[in-house]
Amino acid sequence: MLDFRSEANSALNNAKAELEANDNKKLKYAALELRIAIEALAYDKAKTLADELPIKEYETWQPRKLMLILLEIDPNINKISSVSFGEEKEFGVPPDDKDMHFLGTEQPITFEDIKKHYDALGSFLHMPTLGQLQKESVPNYCKLKERCNLVIGILEKILSSPVFNLNIDCSSSVSCGNCNATIRRRLPIGLEKVEAHCLECEATYLVSYTGQESAVDWAPLGKYVSCPNQEANCKEKYFLFKNEIKTGVQWKCKGCGCDVYIGFGTFLKNKA
């Protein structure tokens, strides 16, 4: 797979070269390279969670949207983290601070960084609209240069981190009751319950701690639907996952054999 971090570093160097030219016309190329660097770092972070990322999201190129998806998987993904290690002198007893060896601190790309700068840089990469021209709202190259230098400082700090893409988690897995695929969901510290989605059929579950040590419960999210065949007085019920409750979903009733589907309906109000 592509080395996104290396691509980000290359784009950052290209942006610096464009700025060093001291030519306003080249500032937009610096902005473009910085946007590419931001995208590469977002994709690099997504690669870390590839096994938990829905396949359909692999096509997501907007870094802000992608980071929101990653934060749903792991709320701690854009937090600064430090790594140290040490040998336990007694099993289960953490070593003293003096016996710990510090490896480094990771400064990740954050959702706030992307939200604040990605679109702002992009606004300089287009021709002014007719409305902007009428208002004489022309590109402010001084502001663009200031923003480019600010983003360069952020990216340099991120790319100089001695450790990166830390992926330490506590997770649980279960076989999907709908398609038998294995579902894995990490359980962030501090959260008692989270939603989990099957990557194969998109069935949704609520994963929550039971109160017992390291024990969790997987509860399918959805509702039971009764067969609408009143003529046959059919009492059959079916469980539909939350993602299945939508127009067009259909199934064959095991009780009466009729075809059942979900659709829109119109009804008369009770007369006064």
Residue 240 lies in a domain: yes
Residues 128 and 238 in one domain: no
CB 242 within 8 A of CB 221: yes
Same domain, 25 and 56: yes
**pLDDT score of 98:** 84
Task: Give the Å distances, CA to CA, from 157 to 146, 164, 192.
Answer: 17, 12, 34
Token output for 206: 């609520």
Mention every residue, 6+ apart, whose C-beta is less than 8 A from residue 199.
52, 54, 55, 181, 183
- Residue partners of 250: CB distance under 8 A and separation at least 6: 259, 260, 261, 262
Residue 191: inside a domain, yes or no?
yes
- Looking only at Cα atoms, what is the longest distance across the chain? 82
Shared domain for 231 and 195, answered yes or no, is no
Instruction: Give the range of the structural domain holding residue 78, as residue numbers without chain letter.
Output: 4-159
Specify if 40 maps to a domain.
Answer: yes
Residues 24 and 120 both lie in one domain: yes
Question: Across the 272 residues of the chain, what is the mean pLDDT of every consecutive 10-residue run?
Answer: 92 95 89 96 90 77 89 85 87 85 91 94 79 68 92 96 84 89 81 84 88 82 89 87 88 88 73 52
Joined together, the tokens standing for residue 93 give 């007893």
Q: Cα 40 to chain center, whole Å?
A: 15
Question: What is the rounded CA–CA span in Å between residue 40 and residue 170?
Answer: 27
Same domain for 122 and 37: yes
Clarify whether residues 91 and 51 are in a common domain.
yes
Separation between Cα atoms, residue 45 and residue 125, nearest integer Å = 26
Q: For residue 113, what pLDDT is reported?
A: 94
Number of domains in the chain: 3
> Of 129, 159, 189, which residue constitutes the final position of a domain?
159
6-27 burial, b for 16+ CB within 10 Å, e for fewer?
A: ebbbebbebbbebbeeeeeeeb
In terms of domains, do 125 and 205 share one? no
Q: Is the dihedral of CA 116, 119, 122, 123 positive or negative?
A: negative
Residue 266, in any domain of the structure: no
What's the confidence (pLDDT) of residue 4?
94
Does residue 51 form part of some domain? Answer: yes
Q: Strands 250-252 and 222-226, how do they pair?
A: unpaired
Same domain, 236 and 120: no
- Examine residue 270 and state whether it is found in any structural domain, yes or no: no
Domain finish residue from 159, 180, 198: 159
272 occurs within a structural domain: no
Same-domain check for residues 121 and 132 = yes
Single pTM value for the model: 0.74
Residue 178 lies in a domain: yes
Tell me what pLDDT residue 19 has.
92
Is the domain of 29 the same as that of 148?
Answer: yes
One domain for residues 108 and 26: yes
Both 46 and 124 in one domain: the answer is yes
Domain end call among 107, 133, 159: 159
